[in-house]
Chain A
Amino acid sequence: MSLQDRPAILNDKEFRYDSFKNGKVLFNKKKNHLPAMGWNSWNAFGSGNTEALTKDIADSIVRLGLDKLGYEYVILDDGCYKPERVDGFLANEEVKFPSGFRALADYIHGKGLKFGMYNDIGTNLCAGAAVGTCGHELDDAQTYINWGVDFIKVDNCYYLWDNATFSDAKNARYTYAPKIKSINVCGKDAGIDFCKKYSAVSDGEITGRGAEKTEDYVWNIGTFDGTGPDNTPYGEQGGELRFTVEAPSDGEYSLTVEYASAQEPGCGEWLQVACNDDVIYDDLLEATSDKDTFAESVKMSLKLKAGSNVIRLMNHRRQENTLSSYAALQEGFDKYAPDGDIILSICEWGKTQPQDWGYKVGDSWRILNDITFQVGADGDPGKGNWIADYTTSVTTQYSKAVIMDEYAGLDKGWNDPDMMMIGMNGLDETMCKTHMTMWSMMNSPLMLGLDLRRVEKGDWIYNIIANKEIIALNQDALGIQAKRVFTTVETESPSTDYIREMDRVDIIAKPLSDGSIAISFINVSDKDKCGDFAISAKDILDAIGSKMADRSVFENAQKYELIDLWSGEKTESNGSFCVKEIAACDNVTYRVIPVQ
């Protein structure tokens, strides 16, 4: 079968789930990038971005001096390509981008800035153009190199191997295992044939997330879809059904599986079987007549050792397929520009739990669906929310990203809670200030999403996006995402528990390369808060001491100098850091410098 007929065959175990934690990158992906900073066209102009607008934005970045503050990428999002390929290659939409992308890249590079573009791992872009990278990854990588692209954001619409946005819903066949009723293991003992049947319900053990036992079978074996809010990213996000099989002696055995399949979330057709960590089957099973009629699978051969063996029935293809597709593009970048260093922004909306694998090929990974669906247009700033349903608010994105610090780092990449909404309707100055603080403390990419032509030096939007002290937190060379060390909501583990309640104050802390730390007191709520919001130097040491540039300096300080990074006010502390009042949606952020 060709690439277009089915997901990639995974001959290299580096693409497999079991290799996600080994720390190895693929195709020479370069690391040690700080979070990317720049401007992306989507929140500002949606599909209505044009060459003229993009040039105006590049001019504005320079006019405002934002380039000197680190904002370097100018990124064209969806809506810029010709709707179909030309002789198999990507091309510019001629009305909106008449000069072509190479000319636009040259213009942007001429300003001392860097040029970014957008595509999808599916067949089409989210806005519809049939120019997705699927099946064209190497050619497209070369095209982007030829165009002078420095950054590429890659979305997940129309993906062939998962039930992603605009994909065929039946693609769930690839990403969920069938319902499993039993397995049958056969072999020889002292020359005599034997078979033993193991019930999925009574003999099988479920691990990870999602898989469920019913009275007769186990189902929902796959990877939990992380696109929506209110779910923790921690723990094994893929469920497995495991059997402990006793073998009388070392040797060749056979395995069959009693299953029923469908093409829907929870019950698919693709099964992976591993025996003592060797994958022995990774393919579609023949479809059963319906999802309630069980059949026996093909016979699989496996080697067992005398004594206990673990047989795993699973389907990690949601993650493995998506990784393979992003990797194909990185393979192209490595092939055609091995010394190049194109930043790859993974945008599969957290669907496949990219915090597990994104570091292998990418520099950042979106953690949820979009932060706003009310994007702007020329003359319309669009709208963002502080608190709202689904993923569409500052606080929803923050609430997931803030517990994901352990997945981020210079040797990995960055959690991406989406482009910023500063300057959009619906968010006032206080909200935007805190939005900027949150994204900076969390080492999120700082992608502006507003029409910069309406910003002037010294106005409130400028003062937020150009706050050097706050930007310095994001771009600090130590590259450590802030950790939540306290929250007013009762919880067992503030640093890892997903908290749905927005009526709260969080305290997050971040070690910095000069031995100081940053602390933010964040009022997530839209109500003013009074109280003793306090944390001690010991609390901070317990939480982030191991990541500090010099723990002993902080630990042995006689006092601490505090600089409020929004007001500039300086105070001192003997080791207790406290805020008593925080206005609705506001934050107080200090750089805390240990003094000997």
Chain B
Amino acid sequence: MMNYKLLFDKIHCSFGISLDEGKAMCIYDAQDCLDENAGIERRHAARIFHMVMSKACDISDIDDISQAGELLDLYDCRVCVNHIAQVYLRGIMKARLERIFDGRAFITAEEVECAIDGIVKIKSDVLSI
């Protein structure tokens, strides 16, 4: 199962951000560090990936997130609406079922790989402009 420790390692490996640096940059919340072996809910993964994009990769937010409204459960998570919208609209994380993001389910290792690859690609596109 994908857990926080593995995610921290992958982000360190891919973006050079250590856990302490991630905390200082507000990429990680204190609650992310409570249990490194715990699974990561997709809504929390969306937050972390969004923060990696904006704080570490200079990938600016998509201004109009209205298209993410096609996710039927988008507003179930008031504090992560924008995080989910940004990773969804950029193709970093996809809906699990038709039009359902399923933010309370745990993210899989495959989904993490896919998300990190996606961020790396967008970052390289940004740098090449």
Contact = CB atoms under 8 A, between A and B. Distances in A.
Contact of B44 (A95, A128, A377, A426): A128
> Which DSSP category, helix, strand, loop or mixed, fits chain B's interface?
helix
A129 B26 contact: no
Contacts of A388: 66
A47 B79 contact: yes
A373 interface: yes
B97 interface: no
A61 B119 CA distance: 39
A130 B54 CA distance: 27
Interface in A369-393: 369-370, 373-375, 377, 380, 383, 388-390
Contacts of B13: none
Contacts of B54: 377, 380
A425 interface: yes
Contacts of B26: 47-48, 96, 377
A165 B29 contact: no
Given A95-B24, A377-B54, A370 B78 contact: yes
B53 to A, nearest CB: 12
B66 A389 contact: yes
Given A377-B54, A388-B66, A84 B78 contact: no
Interface stretch (A75-83, A305-313, A336-344, A435-443): A75-83
A383 B54 CA distance: 15
Contacts of B82: 373-375
B76 A165 contact: yes
A79 B79 CA distance: 10
A127 B29 contact: yes
B61 interface: yes
A157 interface: yes
Interface in B77-114: 77-79, 81-82, 85, 104
A206 B104 CA distance: 37
A95 B32 CA distance: 13
Interface in A480-500: none
Interface string A38-75: 00000000111000000000000000000000000000
A85 to B, nearest CB: 12
A374 B77 contact: no
B66 A127 contact: no
Contacts of A369: 75, 78
Contact of B29 (A47, A349, A389): A47
B30 to A, nearest CB: 5
A373 B63 contact: no
A373 B23 contact: no
A383 B63 contact: yes
A157 B65 contact: no
A93 interface: yes
B79 A126 contact: yes
B30 A93 contact: yes
Interface in A119-133: 126-130
Contacts of A253: none
Q: Which of B76, B78, B82 has the most CB of A within 10 A?
A: B78
B128 interface: no
A198 interface: no
B49 to A, nearest CB: 15
Interface residues of B, number: 23
User: Size class of A's contact patch?
Assistant: 20 to 34
Q: Which of B31, B66, B76, B85 has the most CB of A within 10 A?
A: B31
Contact of A83 (B29, B85, B104): B29
Nearest to B104: A166
A84 B65 contact: no
Given A83-B30, A388-B66, A166 B77 contact: yes
A387 to B, nearest CB: 11
A182 to B, nearest CB: 36
B124 to A, nearest CB: 23
A384 to B, nearest CB: 12
Interface in A122-165: 126-130, 157, 165
B63 A129 contact: no
Interface in B1-51: 23-24, 26, 29-31, 34, 44
A216 B76 CA distance: 33
A81 to B, nearest CB: 8
Contacts of B104: 166
A90 to B, nearest CB: 13
A95 B34 contact: no
B75 A128 contact: no
B114 to A, nearest CB: 24
B92 to A, nearest CB: 17
B30 A82 contact: yes
Q: Which of B23, B24, B82, B104 has the most CB of A within 10 A?
A: B82
B90 to A, nearest CB: 15
Contact of B23 (A95, A128, A374, A426): A95
A165 B69 contact: no
Interface of A: 46-48, 78-79, 82-84, 93-96, 126-130, 157, 165-166, 349, 369-370, 373-375, 377, 380, 383, 388-390, 425-426
Given A79-B29, A166-B77, 5 more contacts: A47-B26, A47-B29, A83-B30, A83-B31, A380-B61
15 contacts: A83-B30, A93-B30, A96-B26, A127-B31, A128-B31, A129-B31, A165-B76, A166-B77, A370-B78, A373-B65, A373-B85, A377-B54, A388-B66, A389-B66, A390-B75
In the A-B complex, the 5 residue pairs with the smallest Cβ-Cβ separation, listed nearest first, are: A373-B81, A83-B31, A48-B26, A126-B79, A83-B30
